Structure 1
Amino acid sequence: MKQVVFNALQTSLSGGIGRYCYELSKAVYKRHEVDFKIVIREEDKDLFDFASNKDLIIIYGIKNSMQRNYYEQFKLPKLIYKKYPDAIIHYPDTMAPLCSKNKIIITIHDLAFKSFKNAFTWKTTIWKNFITALSIKKVSKIIAITNFARSEILKYYPDVKNKVKVVYNGFNDFSKELIDINNVNKSILNLKGNKYILTVSTISPRKNVDGLIKAFDLIKNQINDYKLVIVGKNGWMYQGVYDLVDTLKLNNRILFTGEVNDDELKFLYKNAVVFVYPSFYEGFGLPPLEAMSYGIPCVVSNKTSIPEVVGEAAIKIDPYDLNGIGDMIIKVVQDKKICDDLILKSRNRLKCFSWEKCCNAVIDIYLRN
């Protein structure tokens, strides 16, 4: 049986890559078609309770991304080769272990560090440019999560065309799961019965949260009974977003939840009126699909991968056009026919994406390498 070691050290259910690590490794493990080992941090052990202890490689003492990068590059490859010299290693976030003697597969989610200014700190940008250029030469296969992501890879690294395979992400249909109210923060529970516009993303420049806030400010008097709820942890250059809310005096109309757990996220989706995703750059973009599963009409950016993912099941806007964002929010709020049409199209669109389909395609790549 083919042996695969999956690096899940970056698992975090609040981020897209972390969710990918968790859901894909879980789906592949449960299929039992490959001898599958999963590398995890000690603090994530409870999350991976679906796997037998003998199939978990538990790493202790990794507290930040710098420590994780160092471990992935220099310590983990030696550990894996010593125990599993014939295994394929899957690194699910762009960077390959350059000193590894094993065959390697990587997933590239996006190349924002090349295409979008201020996506990361300058140090991170330099590191990502350096390590990605070397990684794509080292690996035997590259998984791109959308055709857009593939086009970005070939734009900057045209020589790797034969290595790249597109495999869409799955998504989590939270709407079919129960909500444990005991796990929901009181400030979030208090939203029940209130009308609110929802967005879910890390607070950083490429997510365009500040643009959404400015658009909301333009229409706030037309929708006096609505709040804007912003879900996500603070990322690179986040402080300006909070300063903007203070400047516009919107503190009583905007709620920042910070990082949330799955029960809180389900609650927020379930009770939202409109979902808005005005990101400038995405390799995939899971939140609109999650929102669609709850029957929430979506207004999304018309840039990068987002139109490819949502198809005709969402209203698309230019994320640089603040008036356009505001106008479309008003249109969805006020026009039930538009909402009903979007919800109907969403049901069909969601059938295109599942972790089972993603798992099937990834296992096929494992078996062919």
Structure 2
Amino acid sequence: MRSPFFVPNATAMRFALNAMQVRAAKSGVGQYIHALMESLLEVERNHHFTLYCSPQNVVNYRFSAPNYEARVWGLPERARTFRLLYEYSFLPGELKRRGYDLFHGLSNFLPPRRVCPFVVTIHDLTYYVQPERCPPVRRRYWYAMTRRTVDVADAIITVSHCSKSDIEHFFPHTKGRVHVIPEAPHPRFRPLGVARDCSGLGAAGIDFPYVLFVGTLEPGKNVERVIRAFDAIAQDFPSHHLLIVGDRGWLYEGILAAAENARAASRIHLLGHKGDQEVVELMNYCDVFVFPSLYEGFGLPPLEAMACGVPVITSNRSSLPEVTGDAAILVNPESIEEISEAMRRVLSDDAFAGLMREKGLARAREFSWKKAAKETLRVYQLVLGNANS
């Protein structure tokens, strides 16, 4: 395979990427890092990649490519405050000592001292756009880190034009340095083509039709309104259940209360965290996927559901219309009535549901991690060209 950086007789470059800020459990950012790293190693065989990992998350990033190293560095995850201070005090020296050609911070932040060309991926600015979604102490920390990061970054990668607009709004001096590289569904998200009773769901006792939500249980994901919207139509669809998949996040208690107090409480199931393949199966066999989030930098779950051939209801705000195009039913996320009526339409109109499945599959095919990896390498090339000019 011809390298995107291919120059005859050129010396191989050494790129360092940072995954240390990501927890051991695969979050959305963790999924991004895994998929991007996997694809970078697929499309680029000449240059060398070192991924800095924490002792806890390194298990998620073991790749067998000869031009890849997972380097465990820093302090344990449980020592969060000291770990961050350690990373940002000593990481620049580590990068300089090992002589990297470029450093890429994959999770919003960069060290304060620039010792080689710096690239950062800023996934979103939720804590600026909707500050009420973040605990105050964490928000102040993120504000300070983001200001320093955009000042030292040679290039900023973000995942949607919506996020680019937010970055340039809050930090006008970044204009000209922000590059949009969309995410994509992992290839495992696809129609499985087997009957549900032959899948793992049958063994798990899920033998009923259901509506599905996947995401962190926190107010910004709008899960309470999903519950209330389902409750509003539950009596008209007595065989359907609502399955809610995701870890508990900040201020999750209201979501638990909404589920417990619903009239259809016996048909509302909070399943907690599920593994990658379990989520694929759950998406494949749901009748509709509902994701009316209040704000997303990209919003990958709706695209993953589309890739599985499932009708999608999502928000008409932030990046979600940009990502889903005309292949999803867009609703006002603050209107329980709009969410419930969208559910009703999909569940009662087979022809419409079939049309949305076909549109979703076509839309999902427009996104590719291989394309994202190649565009990321082009940003590296641009930054290195500017550094050497």
Does residue 8 in structure 1 map to residue 19 in structure 2? yes
Q: Are positions 1:146 and 2:157 aligned together? A: no
Amino acid at match of 1:72: E
| Inter-partner Cα distance in structure 2 for 1:67 and 1:254 | 41
Counterpart in the other structure of 2:70: 56
Shift of residue 47, structure 1, vs aligned partner? 2.9
Q: Tell me if the contact between 1:2 and 1:367 (Cα under 8 Å) persists in the aligned partners.
A: no
The letter of the residue matching 2:165 is S
| Aligned pairs for 1:150-229 within 5 A | 150-176=164-190, 189-191=204-206, 193-229=207-243
Structure 2 partner of 1:37: 50
Contact 1:171 1:290 in 2 (8 A): yes
Match of 2:128 in 1: 114
**Deviation at 1:200?**
0.7
CA distance in 1, matches of 2:39, 2:276: 18
Q: Which runs of 5+ in 1 are unaligned?
A: none
Conservation of the 8 A alpha-carbon contact between 1:13 and 1:19: no
What amino acid maps onto 1:204 in structure 2?
E
Amino acid at match of 2:13: K
Alignment CA distance shift 1:13-1:33 (3 Å): farther
Note if contact 2:200-2:281 (Cα within 8 Å) is conserved in structure 1. Answer: no
Alpha carbons of structure 1 residues 16 and 221: separation in structure 2 relative to 1, 3 Å: same
Q: Partner residue of 2:315?
A: 301
Alpha-carbon distance between aligned partners in 2 of 1:187 and 1:63, rounded to the nearest angstrom: 37
Tell me the residue number matched to 1:26.
Answer: 38
Who is 2:6 aligned against? none
Farther off after superposition, 132-141 or 61-70: 61-70
* C-alpha contact 2:74 2:87 (8 A) present in aligned 1: no
Task: Name the stretch that deviates more: 49-58 or 32-41.
Answer: 49-58
Going from structure 1 to structure 2, the CA distance change for 1:367 and 1:62 (only over 3 Å counts) comes to same
RMSD of aligned residue pairs (Cα, Å): 2.3
CA distance in 2, matches of 1:201, 1:89: 30
Query: Within the alignment, does 1:256 sit opposite 2:267 as a pair?
Result: no
Please state whether the residue corresponding to 2:227 is helix, strand or coil: helix
2:265 aligned counterpart, secondary structure:
coil
C-alpha deviation, 1:3, in angstroms: 1.9
TM-score (norm 1): 0.92
In structure 2, distance between residues paired with 1:336 and 1:134: 52
| Contact 2:19–2:52 (Cα < 8 Å) also in 1 | yes
Question: Structure 1: which amino acid aligns with 2:50?
Answer: K
Structure 1 residues 132-185: Cα deviation after superposition (integer angstroms, max 9, x where no partner): 111101110000110000000111111110111111112213245979x9xx98
- TM superposition shift of 1:87: 2.4
Deviation at 1:271, TM superposition (A): 1.6
Q: Supply the AA of the counterpart residue of 1:91.
A: G
Cα pair 2:95 2:115 within 8 Å, conserved: no
Deviation (angstroms), 1:249: 4.9
Percent identity between the two aligned chains: 27
- CA distance in 2: counterparts of 1:77 and 1:260, whole angstroms: 37
Q: What is the letter of the counterpart of residue 289 of structure 1? A: L
When residues 195 and 318 of structure 1 are mapped into structure 2, their CA distance, relative to the original with a 3 A threshold, is same
Residue 47 (str. 1) matches residue 70 (str. 2): no
Rounded to whole Å, the distance in 1 between the matches of 2:140 and 2:212 is 34
- Number of residue pairs matched by the alignment: 364
- Match among 293, 299, 304 for residue 285 of structure 1: 299
Alpha-carbon distance in structure 2 between the residues aligned to 1:87 and 1:166 = 22
Match among 351, 364, 383 for residue 350 of structure 1: 364
Per-residue CA deviations over 1:215-262 (Å, capped at 9, x if unaligned) read 112111111111111111111111111022222254311111111111
The SS at the match of 2:185 is coil
Of stretches 197-206 and 57-66 in structure 1, the one that deviates more from structure 2 is 57-66
**Out of 76, 96, 103, which is 1:81 matched to?**
96
CA drift at 1:345: 1.3
Moved more, 357-366 or 69-78: 69-78
**Deviates most, 35-44 or 117-126:** 35-44
What amino acid is aligned across from residue 331 of structure 2 in structure 1? I
Query: Partners of 1:177 and 1:97 in 2: how far apart?
Result: 42
The letter for the 2-side match of 1:113 is: Y
**Contact 2:108-2:121 within 8 A present in 1 as well:** yes
Instruction: Give the Å deviation of 1:187.
Output: 9.7
What one-letter code is carried by the residue in structure 1 that aligns with 2:53? I
Q: Is the 8 A contact 2:75 2:83 kept in 1?
A: no
Give the alignment's TM-score, normalised by structure 2: 0.88
Q: Which moved more, 1:254-263 or 1:271-280?
A: 254-263
Distance 1:66 1:257, change over 3 A: farther
